[in-house]
């Protein structure tokens, strides 16, 4: 069969890879001149099955109230976005009740754990070159509220197949001595030994290169304008470089998926949540962290990538505005480096590479994978804050569902059908 995968980020590239591995003809299209040039370019770089909970949580309302209106807060709602978010926001809060949250946690964690297994296969094909590290990750808590919440979730995570170790303050610092100088308020945390980290952009580009070398067609610099339809089937993709036909199509265009499928009558309740990241050369300094760290109270993450440190954070509802606001990047860097005073003293601001990108967030905090009401149109989008964590598993699942193979995991909770609920 001839497949066309639309979008060359963390969702599209693994999907295309698995379709090609199943023996199909595959064309991957992206408007950018290189793969992973948008949302998947420079994220927090952590594959964290222990952090797969949806953002819709019972705690979210209190957090929103604390943060609203603060320009330096981890969450920012631009007033111009209110009309775009009003109904969606109410649905988001509806899914933040205890029962849907628990269901979302189970669904996402199942996919994240599966993804770890699939990643072994993909990594064997990409080889090195994306600064992969399998050292686990550390979640650090600086308030009693966050520590209670994190420790309260440990048993559930274990039941869902995630290895997790509870840590007191001393053991947090033993795991990551680089935190010691900025740890006055650290109360404890958890260690996830099976988590990993790596550069998502280099991963996508290496896997894409292998895909192309294996005979798949990768059409970069090709902007999709619309999908053509005949009855219940999509017949072609119309781009600025001509019309492409295929038997089946998979949409993996991240935050742009809703606009693309809306003319076909499909409504995807996905909104863009902007985040900021910075890449900082470490020049081998011993004071740089060795482990990926999630700072639960400060809402920033940091991950070593070879001789660089990636820091990331913020959730900004600003529509599809991709502007890199330097003051927001600086706020993320400042917050992250406050935990690493010894390393911070060695950072040269001129060497910091800023980035901003958009997370495609589904209203219920779970990705959207599989078939649609159109016979030959499939989805892999809506991964929100989890696109790297689930990339391999979601790609495999999307490919299996699109080519009619039985998936290795239960896809319920991820399918388009739930839109009806």
Ligand X SMILES: Cc1cc2nc3c(=O)[nH]c(=O)nc-3n(C[C@H](O)[C@H](O)[C@H](O)COP(=O)(O)OP(=O)(O)OC[C@H]3O[C@@H](n4cnc5c(N)ncnc54)[C@H](O)[C@@H]3O)c2cc1C
Chain positions contacting ligand X, by CB under 6 A: 7-12, 29-32, 37-40, 43-46, 223-224, 252-254, 256, 275-277, 301, 312, 357, 359-360, 381, 383-389
Decide whether 97 or 241 has the Cβ nearer to ligand X.
241
CB of 293: closest distance to ligand X in angstroms?
11
Give the N- to C-terminal CA distance of the chain in Å, as an integer: 33
Residues near 271 by Cβ (< 8 Å), separated by ≥ 6? 84, 85, 88, 255, 317, 361, 363
Decide whether 248 or 385 has the Cβ nearer to ligand X.
385
CB of 301: closest distance to ligand X in angstroms?
6
Decide whether 160 or 341 has the Cβ nearer to ligand X.
160
Query: By C-alpha distance, which of 185, 196, 181 is closest to 140?
Result: 185
How far apart CA 219 and CA 212 sit, in angstroms, is: 10
CB of 352: closest distance to ligand X in angstroms?
15
CB of 170: closest distance to ligand X in angstroms?
27
- Cα–Cα distance list, 74 to 18, 181, 331, 380 (Å): 36, 23, 9, 27
Query: By C-alpha distance, which of 356, 310, 314 is closest to 337?
Result: 310
How far apart CA 386 and CA 107 sit, in angstroms, is: 12
CB of 93: closest distance to ligand X in angstroms?
22
Decide whether 290 or 346 has the Cβ nearer to ligand X.
290
Tokens matching residue 395: 């790609």
Decide whether 32 or 180 has the Cβ nearer to ligand X.
32
Query: By C-alpha distance, which of 357, 319, 402, 384 is closest to 112?
Result: 384
Decide whether 181 or 297 has the Cβ nearer to ligand X.
297
3-state helix vs strand vs coil in the chain, percent to 5: 40, 25, 35
Which residue is at the shortest CB distance from ligand X?
Answer: 387
How far apart CA 383 and CA 389 sit, in angstroms, is: 9
CB of 389: closest distance to ligand X in angstroms?
3
Decide whether 53 or 256 has the Cβ nearer to ligand X.
256
CB of 34: closest distance to ligand X in angstroms?
9
CB of 36: closest distance to ligand X in angstroms?
6
Neighbouring C-alpha atoms within 13 Å toward the C-beta of 301: 26
Decide whether 286 or 415 has the Cβ nearer to ligand X.
415
Query: Does residue 186 contact residue 200 with C-beta atoms inside 8 Å?
Result: no
How far apart CA 394 and CA 312 sit, in angstroms, is: 23
CB of 391: closest distance to ligand X in angstroms?
7
Residues near 138 by Cβ (< 8 Å), separated by ≥ 6? 167, 172, 175, 176, 189, 190, 191, 192, 291, 292, 293, 294
By CB neighbour count within 10 A (0-12 exposed, 13-18 middle, 19+ buried), where does 375 fall? Answer: exposed
């Amino acid at each position: 069969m001839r497949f066309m995968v639309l979008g060359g980020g963390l969702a599209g590239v693994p999907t295309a890879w698995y379709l090609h591995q199943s023996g199909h003809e595959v064309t991957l299209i992206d408007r950018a001149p290189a793969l992973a040039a948008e949302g998947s370019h420079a994220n927090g770089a952590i594959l964290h099955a222990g952090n797969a909970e949806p953002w819709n949580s019972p705690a979210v309302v209190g957090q929103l109230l604390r943060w609203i209106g603060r320009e330096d807060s981890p969450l920012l709602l631009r007033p111009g976005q209110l009309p775009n978010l009003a109904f969606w926001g109410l649905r988001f809060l509806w899914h933040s009740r205890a029962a849907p949250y628990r269901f979302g946690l189970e669904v996402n964690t199942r996919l994240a754990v599966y993804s770890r297994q699939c990643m072994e296969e993909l990594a064997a094909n990409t080889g090195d070159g994306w600064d992969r590290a399998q050292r686990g990750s550390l979640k650090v808590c600086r308030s009693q509220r966050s520590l209670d919440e994190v420790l309260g979730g440990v048993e559930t995570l274990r039941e869902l197949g995630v290895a997790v170790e509870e840590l007191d303050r001393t053991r947090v610092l033993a795991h990551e001595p680089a935190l010691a100088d900025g740890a006055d308020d650290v109360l404890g945390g958890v260690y996830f030994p099976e988590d990993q980290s790596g550069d998502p952009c280099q991963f996508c580009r290496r896997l894409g290169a292998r895909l192309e070398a294996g005979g798949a067609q990768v059409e970069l610099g090709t902007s999709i304008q619309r999908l053509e339809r005949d009855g219940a089937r999509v017949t072609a993709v119309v781009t600025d470089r001509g019309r492409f036909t295929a038997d089946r199509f998979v949409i993996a265009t991240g935050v742009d998926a809703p606009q693309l499928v809306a003319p076909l009558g499909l409504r995807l309740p996905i909104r863009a949540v902007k985040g900021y990241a910075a890449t900082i050369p470490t020049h081998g300094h011993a004071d740089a962290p060795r482990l990926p760290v999630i700072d639960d109270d400060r809402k920033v993450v940091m991950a070593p990538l070879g001789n660089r440190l990636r820091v990331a954070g913020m959730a900004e509802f600003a529509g599809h505005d991709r502007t890199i606001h330097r003051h927001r990047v600086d706020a993320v860097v400042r917050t992250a480096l406050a935990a690493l005073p010894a390393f911070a003293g060695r950072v040269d601001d001129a060497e910091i590479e800023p980035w901003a990108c958009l997370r495609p967030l589904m209203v219920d905090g779970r990705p959207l994978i599989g078939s649609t009401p159109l016979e030959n149109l499939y989805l892999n989008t809506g991964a929100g804050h989890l696109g790297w964590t689930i990339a391999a598993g979601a790609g495999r699942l999307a490919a299996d569902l699109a080519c009619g193979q039985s998936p290795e995991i239960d896809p319920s909770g991820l399918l388009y059908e739930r839109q009806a609920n």
